[in-house]
């Protein structure tokens, strides 16, 4: 049993529901926050208490730090779970929580700054032997970028030091295009993350995206819970994930796991974390960044390891010692796939908010749906398009693919458009079926039409 009596969930949608369920399983009361647009949201209906923290604009509600802290104090919440996105990787928010006597369910502000900033995390990775692509520190100006790009060699990618999710990223193949893209990336980084710092890395044309799940407690325990294949992306946004990766084997997991555990332990990091890597065409892994929060795709790891990651995250924050077998590498139980269901046109990817007139999620053995919507709910236009996640589990990868096909065929969402047809097309793609995907697989599929 966790030490917390009440937790405020500083998020919305499916992740708010996911955290709420974990709290219920631990016997913890919950407080939902919501904007005016989310007054009838599912997480508001199921929480023990709910507090409106502002209007529809996320900057005035879900990112409104004074209102969220006040909501926790008024309701007597001892801890805040930030979910993902919004304030989940905001070190200042975590710091303020501590000053107000509220536990932030995540890493310390110091660890968040160390690992969350892309440039400093590259330095940490280098110190502990994690493989890195050729790159730079923070760039001073466009002239500095040109100088460094000549050293690295084209193509290069400009990245925001303090962000992710594709914002502040620009691929540059020729020197003539570098200055303009540098300015654009800086502007996006400042707008999106209040931090204009950018850096360069060598760009890999057809990489895979593979990430490793970490869990660490305050008693020196560190676990790597396998990896996730996240190569199926559009504009750096993940669409479909699976675990384990078809590109990995136990030898690679052992080597990478040993290096990751050492880095996590020696930097004093605690709670959940995800280390993201690119795999080049030759099968070599290169560290990109660390996400210091629970990931959208965490359910596939839960399905193949049997570990409730959100529950463990809450227990670690309460000071508990993690009680899991020390398996290196982790013994996987079958295969799991997740499809992110977005309210968007499946071909143009334009957001498609509106009233859900009919909602019938799939079911059956080995099928899980994490969702924050219901029939009669109006999907707002002011937030992320993700409305549900379908996760399946089966003994083998081919069986998991077959099960996901059936689950998507059963999923009925009326009144709006979703990207379910895209997922169905991906599961017919030979490269996906045979496990040969890259981060450009969706781009190639869309260019051919489906």
- The catalytic site residues sit at 293
Closest CA to 333 of 239, 278, 399: 399
Contact 278, 209 (CB under 8 A): yes
Pairing of strands 6-9, 29-35: parallel
* 185 CB-contact burial (10 Å; exposed 0-12 / middle 13-18 / buried 19+): buried
3-state secondary structure of 378: strand
What residues are paired with 359 via a beta bridge?
413
Query: Which tokens sit at 82?
Result: 């930030």
Q: Which helix (H) or strand (E) holds 315?
A: helix 309-317
Q: Cα separations (Å) of 264 from 104, 201, 298, 308?
A: 19, 23, 19, 20
CA–CA dist 153, 345 (Å, integer): 38
Cis status, amide bond into 155, omega within 30 of 0: yes
Q: Which helix (H) or strand (E) holds 422?
A: helix 420-426
């Amino acid at each position: 049993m966790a030490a917390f009596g009440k937790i405020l969930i500083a998020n919305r949608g499916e992740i708010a529901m996911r955290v709420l369920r974990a709290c219920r399983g631990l016997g913890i009361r919950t407080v939902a926050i919501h904007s005016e647009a989310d007054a009838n949201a599912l997480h508001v209906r199921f929480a023990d208490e709910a507090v409106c923290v502002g209007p529809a604009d996320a900057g005035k509600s879900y990112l409104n730090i004074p209102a969220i802290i006040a909501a926790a104090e008024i309701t007597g919440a001892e801890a805040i779970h930030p979910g993902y996105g919004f304030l989940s990787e905001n070190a200042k928010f975590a710091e303020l929580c501590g000053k107000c006597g509220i536990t932030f369910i995540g890493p310390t502000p110091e660890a968040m700054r160390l690992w969350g900033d892309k440039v400093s995390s590259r330095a940490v990775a280098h110190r502990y032997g994690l493989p890195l692509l050729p790159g730079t520190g923070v760039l001073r100006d466009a002239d500095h970028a040109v100088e460094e790009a000549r050293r690295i060699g084209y193509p290069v990618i400009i990245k925001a030091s303090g962000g992710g999710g594709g914002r502040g990223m620009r691929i540059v193949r020729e020197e003539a295009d570098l200055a303009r893209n540098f300015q654009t990336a800086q502007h996006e980084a400042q707008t999106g993350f209040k931090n204009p710092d950018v850096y360069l890395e060598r760009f890999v044309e057809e990489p895979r995206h593979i990430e490793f799940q970490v869990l660490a407690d305050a008693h020196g325990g560190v676990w790597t819970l396998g990896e996730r294949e996240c190569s199926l992306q559009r504009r750096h946004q993940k669409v479909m994930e699976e675990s384990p990766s078809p590109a990995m084997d136990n030898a690679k997991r052992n080597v990478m796991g040993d290096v990751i555990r050492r880095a996590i332990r020696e930097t004093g990091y605690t709670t959940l974390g995800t280390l993201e890597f690119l795999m080049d065409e030759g099968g070599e892994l290169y560290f990109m960044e660390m996400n210091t929060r629970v990931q959208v795709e965490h359910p596939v790891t839960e399905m193949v390891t049997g570990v409730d990651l959100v529950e463990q995250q809450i227990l670690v924050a309460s000071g508990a010692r993690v009680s899991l077998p020390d398996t290196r590498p982790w013994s996987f139980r079958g295969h799991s796939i997740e499809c992110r269901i977005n309210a968007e046109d499946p071909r143009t990817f334009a957001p498609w908010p509106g009233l859900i007139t009919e909602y019938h999620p799939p079911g059956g053995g080995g099928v899980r749906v994490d969702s924050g919507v219901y029939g009669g709910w109006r999907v707002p236009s002011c937030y992320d398009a993700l409305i549900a996640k379908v996760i399946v589990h089966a003994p083998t990868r081919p069986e998991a693919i077959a099960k996901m096909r059936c689950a998507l065929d059963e999923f009925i969402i009326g009144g709006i458009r979703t990207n379910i047809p895209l997922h169905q097309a991906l599961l017919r793609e030979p490269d996906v079926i045979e496990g040969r995907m890259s981060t450009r697989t969706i781009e190639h599929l869309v260019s051919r039409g489906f």
